[in-house]
Amino acid sequence: MQSLKSFDPDIYNAIRDETLRQTETLEMIASENFVSLAVLEALGSVMTNKYAEGYPRHRYYGGCEHVDIAEGKARFRSKKLFGAKYSNVQTHSGSQANMAAYLTLAKPGDTIMGMHLNHGGHLTHGSGVNFSGRLFNVVAYTISPETGRIDYDEMLRLAREHKPKLIVTGASAYPRIIEFDKVKEIADEVGAYHIADIAHIAGLVATGLHPDPLPYSDIVTSTTHKTLRGPRGGLILTNVEGGEFMLANMPKPKTLPQAIDAWVFPGCQGGPLMHVIAAKAVAFKEALRPEFKEYQQQIVKNAAVLAETLLSRDFSLVTGGTDNHLILMDLAPRGLTGRDAEKALEMAGITTNKNMVPNDPQKPFITSGIRIGTPALTTRGMKEEEMRQIGNMIAYILEDLEDEERQKKTRDDVRELCKRFVIYDIPEAIEED
C-alpha cells in the first residue's frame, strides 16, 4: 500500500487499524468472514476501471474481452458449485439480488410473504423501511414462540388467506435448517412463486450441509461474502429454464433466466463491478475445492461445540441449539439485554451483535439476544478446543457485565489466542515526524 501510505495517511491508517482490529479480536458476527489474499488481489485490481454494461459478449462498451473472461468464469463456476442451470453474478449486494428477483416475479402492489424481521428475517423480506415493504403488500410469517422454529402451519394458513404472489424464505438469524420442500408445497397449493434467499447459508448449501433449495424454488438469491467467503456482493441462481415473462418495451415474452438478467441490468443496476465479479470468480474456485467442504463442516462443528459450552454454563439458546453456523443466545432469563451484552463482549475483544429473540420484551435497538457465528473464526483455523475456550470466555463476561476487570483480563486472553491464528499481515505504522 505504498501509494496510499504517502498520498493519504488518514485512509492508510484507517485500513491499517481495521486490519489490526480484525486480527486482534474474535470476529463472531455470523454474517462476516475473512477473504483470501487471492480474492483481495482481484478486488484491488484495475477491473474496477472498466464499464461493462450488458452481459459477456453482449456489452454496450468496447474493450470488454478480458472482463468477459472474469464474468464467464464467475458464472460457470457458480453454476457448477450449486448445480444450477443459470447464474447471474452482477448484483452488487444481496439486497439488490432480492430486488431483481422480486421484480422478476411480482409487480409493485402485489402481495409477498417473508419472514418477519424481528423473527430472523432480513430487511429485504418485507420490512416497512425497505423497498420490499414499500413496493409490495407484505404478509409476514413468524417463528413459533414455543419452539423458536419457523411455523410452517402458520405459513400455510397465511398463504391460503392472503394468496401471495411469492413467498420468500431464508433468514439472517435462524439457527436451524430451513425446510424448502415444505415451503414449495405451500407455494404450489396457493399458486405462489418461491424465492429462497440463502445469503447466510450459501457455503453450507454449496457443500451439501444444508438442504438444497434449487429443486424447490423458482429463484435462489444469495450474498457471496458470508459463509461463501467471497467478496461483498450478490448472486442469483435458478434451475427453471422456461417461463413467459413480459418486460417493458419487449414485444415477446422472455424466459425466467432472460427476465432475471434484464431485471438486474438495466432493471435495477447500471455498470457491473467487474473487480468484484473477478473476485467472485476466485472465491467460487476456492469453494469448488475439497478443502472448502472441510471448512464448512468445521464451521458447523464449531457452532455445535460453542452451543454445548454455553448450555453447560446455563445460558438459554433459541431452539436449544443449532444446525448451522450460528447461535442465538436468549439473555432474557438472565435479565440481560442484547445491547449491554454486545457492549461488554466488545470490551473483551469479542465482536457479536445484539438480536431480537422470540417474544422479545425489548425494543429492536435494545433486544434480549446476541447472535454469534463461527464462519470467520473457522477461517482462521480455530477448532473445537478454541470454541470451548471462547464459549467459557463469553459466559464469564456475561455472568457479570459490570466487571471491567473481567473484560480487561479476557481482552488479554483474546489477544493471545488471536496471535496463534494469523489471518493477515499488519501493514506497518506510519512513522511520526
Ligand X SMILES: *Cc1c(COP(=O)(O)O)cnc(C)c1O
Q: Give the residue numbers annotated as catalytic, written as ranges.
A: 51, 53, 197, 223, 226, 232
The residue from 172, 217, 238, 407 that contacts ligand X (CB under 6 A) is 172
Cβ atoms of 220 and 105 within 8 Å: the answer is no
Among 43, 47, 140, 171, binds ligand X (CB under 6 A): 171
List 93, 132, 269, 353, residue binding ligand X (CB under 6 A) = 93
Please, which residue, 64 or 276, has the CB nearer to ligand X? 276
- Piece of the chain touching ligand X by CB under 6 A; list 168-176, 294-302, 307-315, 348-356: 168-176
Out of 16, 50, 77, 200, the only residue in the binding site for ligand X (CB under 6 A) is 200
Q: Helix, strand, or coil here: 433?
A: coil
- The size of the interface with ligand X (CB under 6 A), counted in residues, is 14
Q: Quick check: 118 binds ligand X (CB under 6 A)?
A: no
Whether residue 266 is preceded by a cis peptide bond, meaning omega within 30 degrees of 0, is yes
Among 50, 59, 75, 122, which residue interacts with ligand X (rule: CB under 6 A)?
A: 122
Buried b (16+ CB within 10 A) or exposed e, 229-244: bbbbbbbbbbbbeebe
The smaller minimum CB distance to ligand X, of residues 84 and 235, is found at 235
The SS3 of residue 418 is helix
Task: Using the rule CB under 6 A, give the single segment among 94-102, 131-139, 204-212, 331-339 that binds ligand X.
Answer: 94-102
Q: Rule CB under 6 A: choose which of 43, 155, 199, 341 binds ligand X.
A: 199
* 124 is a site residue for ligand X (CB under 6 A): yes
Helix or strand (DSSP H, E) at 67? helix 65-82
* Residue nearer to ligand X on the CB measure, 202 or 209: 202
DSSP letter string over 146-187?
Answer: TT-SB-HHHHHHHHHHH--SEEEE--SS--S---HHHHHHHH
Q: Which helix (H) or strand (E) holds 94?
A: helix 94-105
Burial class for 292, CB neighbours closer than 10 Å (0-12, 13-18, 19+): buried
By CB under 6 A, residue 197 contacts ligand X: yes
Select the span of 79-87, 91-99, 130-138, 150-158 touching ligand X (CB under 6 A): 91-99
Q: Are 144 and 172 in contact (CB under 8 A)?
A: no
Q: Dihedral angle at the C-alpha atoms of 295, 296, 301, 302, nearest 10 degrees? A: 70
Is residue 36 a contact partner of residue 380, using CB atoms and an 8 Å limit? no
Phi, psi of 156 (to 5 degrees): -65, -45
CB of 296 to ligand X, least distance (A): 17
Sign of the CA dihedral with 220 first, then 278, 20, and 423 last: positive
**Residue window 7-46: x/- pattern of binding to ligand X, with contact defined by CB under 6 A:** ------------------------x---------------
The answer to whether 132 contacts ligand X (rule: CB under 6 A) is no
Give the span between the Cα atoms of 359 and 78, in whole angstroms: 38
For ligand X, the nearest residue by Cβ is 94
Query: Residue 325 is placed in which grid cell?
Result: 453456523
CB of 228 to ligand X, least distance (A): 11
Q: Return the amino acid letter for 255.
A: T
Candidate ranges 79-87, 196-204, 404-412, 422-430; the one touching ligand X (CB under 6 A): 196-204
Q: Which stretch binds ligand X (CB under 6 A): 9-17, 103-111, 129-137, 193-201?
A: 193-201
What's the closest the beta carbon of residue 145 comes to ligand X, in angstroms? 21
Instruction: Report if residue 269 touches ligand X, rule: CB under 6 A.
Output: no
Q: How far is the CB of 174 from ligand X (least distance, A)?
A: 9
Which residues bind to ligand X, rule: CB under 6 A?
31, 93-95, 98, 122, 124, 170-172, 197, 199-200, 223
